[in-house]
């Protein structure tokens, strides 16, 4: 989806446990989001289909959801039978390329060329330490995504370990230069002074284009969105 087609920004922590309904009843609750770190797109959501499927974890495509989070609930235009026949994901295992392909085919979606990219879950990045030149920047406490493009946009970072009384800040996911999942470490080029100068994060509702423009300009980063043309 074009970056100019902006959705609302939401946090994955709010998405977790969100109730999902289908055309003929409740489907389950969101447990995980699966994404890649090439374009940071969320490819799948994992639902816990309980109690009607006895807590099975099933894969769905986020594009099937007809609305963003509203009062902790979302709707998808599918039946329970369709979900029942979708690929199952074991909670303690990752997703294979075969499972990803099967899920896309099941919901009638074409499988992209990059379908065999390794997919991560949000817990792989939570609690990761951001560093720059060996200096700690902060710890990831949440992930922020665009609910129209279903793409991750920011990391929410806690800076209190080195900045007593400091605030939480947003760091663009595209600013990350290296990821070490085993060491729980993310590397980027950014000094603490620029982090101190970042606009403080208040809450999800406070993130608008003015805030994002200030954030990107302050860090000397290109915007990910395209401004609409001015009216004649």
Domain spans in the chain, listed from the N-terminal domain onward: 9-120, 122-218
Which one, of 151, 164, 172, lies nearest residue 214 by Cα? 172
- pTM comes to 0.89
* Tens-level pLDDT at each residue, the chain (232 residues): 444 445 689 999 999 889 999 999 999 999 999 999 999 999 999 999 988 998 899 989 998 888 667 678 899 989 999 999 988 887 667 777 788 888 889 988 876 545 556 788 888 999 999 999 999 999 999 999 998 899 999 999 999 999 988 889 999 999 999 999 999 999 999 999 999 999 999 999 999 999 999 999 999 999 999 877 666 5
What pLDDT is stored for residue 98 in this prediction? Answer: 82
Pairing type for strands 178-180 and 9-11 reads unpaired
Assigned CATH for 122-218: 3.90.50.10
210: Cβ contacts below 8 Å, ≥ 6 apart:
none
* CATH class (in words) of the domain with range 9-120: mainly beta
Output the pLDDT for position 216: 96
Q: Which two tokens stand for residue 89?
A: 């994901």
Strand partners, 75: 21
């Amino acid at each position: 989806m074009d970056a100019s087609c902006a959705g609302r920004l939401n946090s994955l922590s709010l998405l977790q446990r969100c109730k999902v309904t289908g055309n003929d009843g409740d489907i389950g609750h969101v447990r995980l989001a699966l994404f890649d770190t090439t374009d940071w797109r969320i490819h799948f959501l994992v639902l816990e289909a309980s109690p009607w499927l006895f807590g099975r974890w099933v894969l769905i495509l986020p594009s099937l959801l007809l609305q963003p989070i509203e009062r902790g609930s979302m709707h998808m235009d599918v039946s329970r039978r369709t979900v029942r026949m979708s690929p199952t994901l074991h909670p303690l295992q990752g997703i294979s390329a075969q499972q990803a392909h099967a899920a896309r085919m099941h919901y009638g979606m074409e499988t992209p060329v990059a379908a065999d990219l390794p997919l991560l879950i949000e817990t792989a990045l939570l609690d990761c330490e951001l560093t720059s030149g060996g200096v700690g920047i902060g710890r990831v406490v949440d992930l922020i995504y665009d609910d129209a493009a279903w793409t991750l946009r920011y990391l929410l970072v806690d800076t209190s370990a080195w900045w007593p009384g400091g605030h939480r800040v947003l760091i663009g996911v595209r600013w990350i230069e290296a990821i070490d999942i085993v060491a729980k470490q993310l590397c980027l080029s950014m000094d603490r002074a620029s982090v101190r100068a970042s606009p403080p994060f208040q809450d999800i509702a406070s993130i608008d284009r003015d805030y994002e423009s200030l954030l990107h300009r302050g860090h000397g980063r290109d915007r990910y969105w395209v401004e609409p043309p001015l009216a004649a």
